[in-house]
Amino acid sequence: FIVSWVNPDETYADVGLDSYVDEGFLTAINEVKKITGEEQVNAVGYCIAGTTLALALSLLKKRKDKSIKSATFFTALTDFEDPGEMGVFLEDDFVDGIERQVADQGYLHSFFMSRTFSFLRANDLIYGPAIRSYMMGEAPPAFDLLYWNGDSTNLPGRFVVEYLRGLCQENQFAKGELELFGEKLGMKDITVPVCAITCETDHIAAWKGSYNGVSQFKSKDKTFIVSESGHIAGIINPPSKKKYGHYTNDGPMEDPEAWLEGADYHEGSWWPRWESWLKKRSGKKVPARIPGDESHPVLCPAPGTYVLRSTKI
């Protein structure tokens, strides 16, 4: 089951972290359990969805709810003490400007998100393309990842402020001080088996920052993987391509540099390794389920309608 998040506009101005945790994970998990008849799910969160997955895990622990059997994090940050290159955009003057923007508009436009990330790789994502297209008259290459990279998303106003102030600047979740649903959430509440995949040259969620967060989880069963390449290519890397290797280390998670120095390098995609990890924490295979029943009718063919919405300029 894949959850598609809507691309928000001003009508979502008051949607915050609580909604992304409650509706994005908890409601979705409950519906999956009803549809399948299963008692537990193996959950996955990519980037910010990985951050909110961590919040959901903490909340479920507080509620003594064991709906999530294992959690996988793709390039996700939970401890923002060292946000990597993104730190330059987390200073007060920048965040103050964003706060004024969302107060006026109700949401953060995707333009600001994509441009911010592009500034972190200015030569590759701004100057290089400008020189090739404007000065040399070359057409941009047909490249699937660049097309995906250009399909940015808006963020609701309240969510943006809570994320930037509470999580990024104040690091409340890492300190066990993030308040949601009447509970104080923290990383020490995460005890389920965890597999975290990070990317060596990720400029959005630095692998060392991700490592620092996962190392503080109280899970006894933790697997940490560093894939070659960046935020998207390092994840969307099927074995058939025989491209980009990855690093693993079964030793204790202490210092990230020491972990990498002692890690084993493996050729090719990490996908088969994750598949093996997931299989050990899953039930028996069952015939593919046919979507839809009386209480859960099929709405439309995949991938749904949200992806067809264009971003307002």
Identity at 235, one-letter amino acid code: I
Q: Give the span between the Cα atoms of 186 and 54, in whole angstroms.
A: 9
Tokens found for residue 172: 């409340």
Q: Give the span between the Cα atoms of 133 and 289, in whole angstroms.
A: 48
Q: Give the span between the Cα atoms of 49 and 306, in whole angstroms.
A: 17
- DSSP single-letter state for residue 126: I
Burial string for 85-124 (b: 16+ CB within 10 Å, else e) reads: ebeebeeeeebeebbebbeeebbbbbebebebbeeebeee
Tokens found for residue 234: 């390092």
Q: Give the span between the Cα atoms of 271 and 197, in whole angstroms.
A: 10
Positions annotated as catalytic residues are: 47
Taking alpha carbons only, the member of 223, 225, 229 closest to residue 200 is 229
Q: Give the span between the Cα atoms of 59 and 111, in whole angstroms.
A: 32
